[in-house]
């Protein structure tokens, strides 16, 4: 159901802020959005009642019925670390593979294919806007390392006049996508403003040992449950943003130097409705400045996030926060908008930027979570990780680290 709202927001946010078309589209989707939120709220209430009796309403398993196919994926991915694993397609710029571009390998995805479609992308810089389109389910793409196999682009809102969604260097629009040991970047620079490196609309998706580099809007987690494990993610303004349910775990988050008179915000979550089971969790990560920002890290203001939509949900837990993080922690989007309805929380963080003594005191801010509350935001609870993460080959922390 949360996918429905993600698609609605995708449709609306594709238009400029001051566009009359945007207003018309917003009005036309409002009733449907309210109905969807009501259904999510009802289901959430049922779940709470069942939980009180020690029972569980497993909507995700119902939605993804088809155990035989899941078993097949598990067997395939148990071989994921085996160097002898045979790919369905090999991409190499030097012509030593079946295809010279990632797009060509994806275009060869067989109709009605069952199981995992494995693409090995050899070392090289691939300057193309590759897209895992609808119908290309369960693609597993791996490279020779995040600094060796790189997908790059430079499209941006400011330089090319494109909507944010169209600027992405790499796009995923089908479920079950996995990327391993690859780099993705958008090189438009801070002057390009919105310039996405990866846009992912994919449920049960994982990026493992990958690098995502950009400035504003580096990663758009557009919808579905997603995991980023052992990754490097860099940017300036709102560089982790979207509508999905995402956990970034055991990763390095690098804050870059923005333009003059700009600030940095690590997250900008787009949860729009109260009942959506979405948001972003940063768990067991490090947030640090890039070398270029380091001399100015105390004067260029950096925040953990700001609320893009009314029910923006962001949790930072068991992470190392550098001294670049402002004492107030969070930044408003505009005035007092969304400050009462957002959900911002911290738990068990460490480092010079982790003190919550001077955090903002908005109604929606929970600066010191209890352990039981923090458990709600783990890989197991928040994105139902025990049901699917093992299939990705990622070695994750399902609960809290300590």
Task: Dig out the tokens for 149 from the structure.
Answer: 């196999």
Question: Would you say 197 and 214 are in contact if contact means Cβ atoms under 8 Å apart?
Answer: yes
**Contact at 8 Å (CB) between 210 and 229?**
no
Q: Residue 222: which of 241, 248, 249, 195 has the closest Cα? A: 241
Got the DSSP string for 107-138?
HTPPTT--S-EEEEE-SEEEES-EEE-TT-TT
Closest among 96, 151, 145, 105 to 127, alpha carbons compared: 151
The neighbour count for residue 36, using CB atoms within 10 Å, is: 21
- Residues known to be catalytic: 217, 238
Tokens of 247: 């956990």
Tokens 């409002």 sit at which residue? Answer: 30
At residue 269, φ and ψ (nearest 5 deg) are: -75, 145
- Residues 83 and 104 sit within 8 Å (Cβ to Cβ): no
């Amino acid at each position: 159901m949360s996918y429905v709202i993600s698609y609605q927001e995708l449709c609306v946010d594709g238009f400029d802020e001051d566009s009359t078309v945007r207003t018309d589209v917003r009005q036309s989707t409002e009733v449907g959005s309210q109905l969807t939120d009501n259904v999510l709220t009802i289901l959430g209430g049922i779940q709470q009642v069942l939980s009180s009796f020690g029972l569980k309403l497993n909507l995700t398993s119902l939605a993804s019925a088809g155990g035989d196919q899941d078993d097949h994926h598990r067997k395939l991915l148990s071989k994921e670390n085996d160097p002898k694993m045979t790919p369905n397609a090999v991409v190499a710029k030097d012509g030593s593979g079946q295809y010279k571009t990632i797009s060509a390998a994806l275009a060869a995805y067989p109709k009605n294919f069952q199981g995992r479609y494995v693409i090995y992308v050899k070392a090289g810089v691939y300057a193309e806007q590759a897209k895992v389109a609808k119908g290309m389910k369960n693609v597993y793409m791996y490279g020779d390392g995040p600094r060796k196999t790189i997908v790059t682009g430079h499209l941006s809102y400011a330089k090319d006049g494109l909507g944010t969604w169209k600027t992405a260097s790499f796009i995923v629009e089908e479920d079950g996508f996995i990327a391993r040991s690859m780099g993705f970047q958008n090189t438009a620079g801070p002057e390009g403003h919105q310039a996405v490196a990866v846009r992912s609309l994919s449920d049960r998706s994982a990026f493992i040992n990958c690098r995502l580099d950009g400035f504003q809007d580096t990663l758009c987690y557009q919808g579905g449950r997603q995991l980023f494990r052992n990754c490097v993610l860099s940017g300036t303004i709102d560089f982790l943003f979207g509508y999905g349910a995402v956990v970034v775990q055991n990763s390095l988050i690098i804050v870059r130097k923005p333009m003059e008179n700009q600030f940095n915000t690590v997250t900008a979550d787009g949860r729009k409705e109260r009942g959506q089971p979405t948001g972003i969790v940063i768990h067991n990560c490090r947030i640090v400045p890039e070398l270029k920002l380091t001399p100015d890290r105390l004067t260029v203001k950096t925040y953990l996030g700001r609320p893009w939509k009314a029910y923006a949900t962001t949790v930072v837990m068991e992470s190392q926060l550098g001294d670049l993080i402002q004492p107030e922690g969070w930044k408003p989007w505009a005035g007092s908008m969304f400050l009462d309805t957002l959900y911002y929380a911290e738990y068990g963080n460490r480092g010079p930027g982790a003190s919550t003594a001077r955090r903002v005191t908005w109604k929606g801010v929970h600066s010191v979570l209890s352990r039981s509350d923090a458990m709600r935001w783990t890989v197991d609870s928040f994105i139902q990780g025990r049901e699917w993460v093992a299939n990705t080959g990622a070695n994750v922390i399902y609960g809290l680290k300590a």
